[in-house]
Amino acid sequence: MNYTIKSFEEYQQVYQESVQNPEAFWANIAEQFVWKKKWDKVLDWNFEEPNVKWFVNGKLNITENCLDRHLQSRGNKLALIWEPNDPKERFIRYTYRELHEKVCQMANVLKNNGIKKGDRVCIYLPMIPELMISVLACARIGAIHSVIFAGFSANAIADRVQDAQASVIITSDGLNRGTKQIPVKRVIDEALEGNTSVQRVIVAERLGWAVNMEDGRDVWLHEELKKVDKDCPAEEMDAEDMLFVLYTSGSTGKPKGVVHTCGGYMVWSDYTFRNVFQYQESDIYWCTADVGWITGHSYLVYGPLLSGATTVMFEGIPTYPDAGRFWQIVDKFGVNIFYTAPTAIRSLMAAGLDHVLSYSLDSLKVLGSVGEPINEEAWHWYNIHVGKERCPVVDTWWQTETGGIMLSALAGISPLKPSHAGHPLPGVQPILIDQNGQEIKENEVEGYLCMKFPWPGIIRTTYGDHERCHQSYFANYPGLYFTGDGAKRDKNGMYRIIGRVDDVINVSGHRFGTAEIENAINQHKKVVESAVVGFPHDIKGQGIYAYVICDELPQNPDHMRAEIIESIVEHIGKIAKPDKIQFVSGLPKTRSGKIMRRILRKVAEGETTSLGDTSTLLDPNIVDEIIEGAL
């Protein structure tokens, strides 16, 4: 079973096939998997509603393709290597056979606790093996998993649990993150105050802490595991049954649940993993992303396991106990393929070269970057000091909504160009659109990045609100999927992403809707109104700059800033803390009341000489005041 492209000429030929006859192309790739029943039709789609179905009426279970089909030939191969936060603690290794047993046991625990096909299970766990096992156990029995990043606050969890109407939460007593130990279960207890959908909370032991256990609702995972056996048949799923819901920030205050389904997502995550990283059978692969984000779903869990790879999972952070931690792990396990975020790279650059030079890094063959476009300086540092100029750097562009990588070099095969994602993967048909919605066909241009044809990993809907999916991705340019990003295409057809064109800020690869942060700021009783924009940040890519109007100018601005940050941490989590909070008496608004964010962005970026026309503002003087008080 090998459909890995081997040369750039082959890429060009395969790409043409995928565009000229997509159905035959994807049918051929899907043949490689285990299906309980073959599909009747490869693709049925329109982008108007939108309605996209891949492998129509095909029946399968994704976990049989991640685990069972490998047992005969790869049963004793390592599937998972788990490295704890503290380097002094022992790592854990599971073979494919052992992981299969663990997943079946966990699936039986879920069944024992009343979970059945179609139920939603929220998973709020640190980066421990139980997180991967829980995700696969849900898929095994046809429950829909919704992983919530274990840094989100109780309010953010409550919103997501409520939206998904989850009946079970899987969590832990606490988590380790660097020098900190965080009480995870306490956050869940707070999130569930007033909740009516959750019947059961299953608690994994990580820190050995005594935690509050509510009678009739909360159970310990280790006690539940004693009651079950290691055999759990995989539930038959339709190719278009929901596999998971993953919440991403929207441009309104309410997070939106991106829905991916079983068949297309399986084919896409496997195909992109093999080709982008040029994965080979003996490779040790490490993606540093948290499973709470789409990268962790597609390229820590599903993609590697579908391909029969050995995947490394790390509980800790890149700078603990020091900034050499990533490189120590690379050497320890002989990692061949390393996939991380530009934010991590920039923070390690800032820590100095000594931490990198202490390690050999000889095992590395391929480096990857994900989460946001990687700036040239970080690209060169990564290439020279980590890859020793012998490892291709694949700068992957994709989104929660695309399910997997869309634009990228194929490692060692495609041409590389710093800060350019590169060419589209087979099956991806990108186009650039001008402000009038017309396609720009020539090269050396820039425009809005859209897709004119579906790929197997495309978003199917937003959970419980299909119209929101339509409005967010398909309404702007009828007949096209709109990515929300601007892009440039060079003379060789390589794409460079130039950033969001909507009100979304990308902080360390994590997307936040400005409305979501404003909503949290506005909860403060003294805040009248706020506006949030992104600005360039050396480490995080984008920082958060908040302009805040209070009922009166604060006597003690620092004290007020601390209170506002507290409100944001409570409603979203620490990850959304603003870098700068400026108190203002007004905001630049048009006569119709629309905030001119363009002006606020320019001020945040320190570019106050090119603000453009401000004559249409209700009060142009407010701009001078904002510039004068800029931080």
Q: Residue 546 belongs to a domain with what CATH number?
A: 3.30.300.30
In this predicted model, what pLDDT tens digit does every residue of 427-470 receive, in sequence order? 999 999 987 889 999 999 989 999 999 999 999 999 999 999 99
| Residue 70 one-letter amino acid | H
227 within a domain of the structure (yes/no): no
Q: Report which of 531, 534, 485, 545 is spatially closest to residue 506, judged by C-alpha positions.
A: 534
Contact 121, 167 (CB under 8 A): yes
Residue 207 half-sphere exposure toward CB, CA atoms < 13 A: 20
Tell me: pLDDT of 565 over 70. Answer: yes
pLDDT score for 590:
65
381, pLDDT greater than 80: yes
Instruction: Check pLDDT > 70 for residue 615.
Output: no
Q: Is residue 154 part of a domain?
A: no
Q: Is 508 domain-assigned?
A: yes
Q: How many structural domains does the chain have? A: 1
The burial class, CB within 10 Å (0-12 / 13-18 / 19+), for 96 is buried
Residue 596 lies in a domain: yes
How many residues does the structure list for the chain? 631
For residue 462, give the DSSP letter: E
603: in domain: yes
Which tens digits make up the pLDDT trace of 298-341?
Answer: 999 999 999 999 999 999 999 999 999 999 999 999 999 999 99
The yes-or-no verdict on residue 248 having pLDDT over 90 is no
Q: Is 499 helix (H, G, I), strand (E, B) or coil?
A: strand
Share of the chain above pLDDT 70, in %: 97
CB 279 within 8 A of CB 306: no
Task: Look at residue 54 and tell me if it is in a domain.
Answer: no
DSSP of 576-602: G--SEEEE-S---BBTTS-B-HHHHHH
The CA distance from 526 to 157, in Å, is: 25
Residue 1 has pLDDT above 60, yes or no: no
In sequence order, what are the beta bridge partners of 237? Answer: 60
Higher-pLDDT residue of 601 and 329 is 329
Residue 501: per-residue pLDDT: 77
The per-residue pLDDT for range 112-168, each reduced to its tens digit, is 999 999 999 999 999 999 999 999 999 999 999 999 999 888 988 999 999 999 999
- The pLDDT tens digits of the residues spanning 489-548 come to 999 999 999 877 777 788 887 878 787 788 789 889 899 888 999 998 988 889 999 999
Residue located via tokens 């059961």: 200
Q: Which of 185, 216, 223, 224 is closest to 199 using CA atoms?
A: 216
pLDDT beyond 90 at 250: no
DSSP string, 5-43: --SHHHHHHHHHHHHHSHHHHHHHHHTTS--SB--SEEE
Q: Can you give the C-alpha Rg of the chain in angstroms?
A: 24
Higher per-residue confidence, 13 vs 539: 13
Average confidence (pLDDT) over 202-228: 97
pLDDT at position 376: 86
Q: What distance in Å separates the CA atoms of residue 512 and residue 270, rounded to the nearest whole number?
A: 28
How far CA 573 is from CA of 80, 361, 479, 512, in Å, comes to 29, 35, 37, 11
Range of the domain at 529: 504-628
pLDDT for 592 beyond 70: no
Region 21-47 average pLDDT: 97
Of residues 352, 347, 339, the one with CA closest to residue 312: 339
Is residue 549 a contact partner of residue 584, using CB atoms and an 8 Å limit? yes
**Whole-angstrom Cα distance, residue 436 to residue 416?**
32
List the structure tokens of 112: 């024992």
Decide if 552 is inside a domain: yes
Does 374 map to a domain? no
Q: From residue 15, how far is each of 55, 407, 449, 464 by CA, in Å?
A: 20, 12, 19, 35
Long-range pairs, 551-556, Cβ under 8 A, ≥24: 551/526, 551/527, 552/526, 553/583, 553/585, 554/526, 554/583
CB 546 within 8 A of CB 582: yes
